[in-house]
Amino acid sequence: MRELFDEVAGKSPLDPREAVRRTMRAPQRKRVYAGAGVTEADGGFLVTLDDKPIRTPSGRQLIAPSREIADAIAGEWNTQGETIDPLTMPLTRFANSVVEGVVDRVEAVSDDVAKYLGSDLLFYRAGHPEALVAREAAHWDPILFWAADTLGAHFILAEGIVHVAQPDSAIAAARAAFPANPWPIAALHVVTTLTGSALLALALCHGVRDPDQVWAAAHVDEDWNIEKWGVDEEVAARRAARLVDFRAAAAILKGLER
């Protein structure tokens, strides 16, 4: 059972995409359990297979912080067929990442997210055409206004891709809004890396924007190019794979609200 969980989890503490790549390279295992369940435990809710606790590669029990999250993880195991398909289990991969790589490294994960505040997607704007300029502003300006008005984080915008140094005070103010617990900071990290924007991740974490709005804001330029030049099937496939992990991280944040 441990080996089965290891392959599903991918043994990747912070990068869900690498976890998927690893599991895709491994042969799929047959389902050897009857069902997954949830039981209360110290610190949260324990996910079980055939009434035995799921354990991560290092032997830690998989304890989710809320019943909703634990039920969703168990649901991924219960919906598997004769063979286990790790690509359909993003919440399990996420949970493994938290327990293995974030619980003891919250500050380090926060540091990694904070790096994006120095070169966030939302800071670098197109100079033309006017329609794209307006679309970026419509999606991105409300997030920057919220960061300034609510968080006290005043960032500098730039046209093009030339790097602009951001004020240390702005970065510190935004970082002060990061969650301090393993599960939400892990979700913040995943959303940040998938969108290229810590500010979009913060907006999702604080309920300023919903998942659909954040995903759309992260792909303004890409969607503009699709409208002009059509869909690149390879790019579309990569985006669909990223969306699976984005939805999982958003589900974690929603599950923590209850």
pLDDT tens digits along 74-106:
999 999 999 999 889 999 999 999 999 999 999
pLDDT of residue 14: 56
pLDDT of residue 28: 73
Nearest to 195 by CA among 245, 129, 237: 245
Please state, rounded to an integer, the average pLDDT across all residues of the chain: 89
Q: What's the pTM value of the predicted model, to 2 decimals?
A: 0.88
Burial class (CB in 10 A: 0-12, 13-18, 19+), 177: middle
Q: In the chain, pLDDT over 70 holds for what percent of residues?
A: 89
What is the rounded average pLDDT of the residues 176-204?
Answer: 96
Chain centroid to Cα 91, Å, comes to 10
pLDDT of residue 29: 82
Q: What is the pLDDT of residues 130-175, one digit of tens each?
A: 999 999 999 999 999 999 999 999 999 999 888 999 999 999 999 9
What CATH number should be reported for the domain whose range is 2-101? 3.30.2180.10
pLDDT of residue 23: 47
9 pLDDT above the threshold of 80: no
| Residue 251, SS3 per DSSP | helix
pLDDT of residue 26: 54
- 51's torsion region: left (phi>0), alpha (psi -120 to 50) or beta? left
Q: What is the pLDDT of residues 109-126, one digit of tens each?
A: 999 999 999 999 999 999
Work out the widest C-alpha separation in the chain, in whole angstroms.
59
What is the rounded average pLDDT of the residues 211-225?
Answer: 96
pLDDT of residue 205: 96
Instruction: Return the CATH class of domain 106-256.
Output: mainly alpha
Q: In the chain, pLDDT over 90 holds for what percent of residues?
A: 78
* Residue 38: partners with Cβ closer than 8 Å, 6 or more residues away: 45, 46, 47, 48, 64, 67, 70, 71, 74
pLDDT of residue 12: 45
| Residue 46, SS3 per DSSP | strand
Nearest to 99 by CA among 66, 39, 56: 56
pLDDT of residue 22: 53
The residue ranges of every structural domain in the chain are: 2-101, 106-256
pLDDT of residue 257: 75
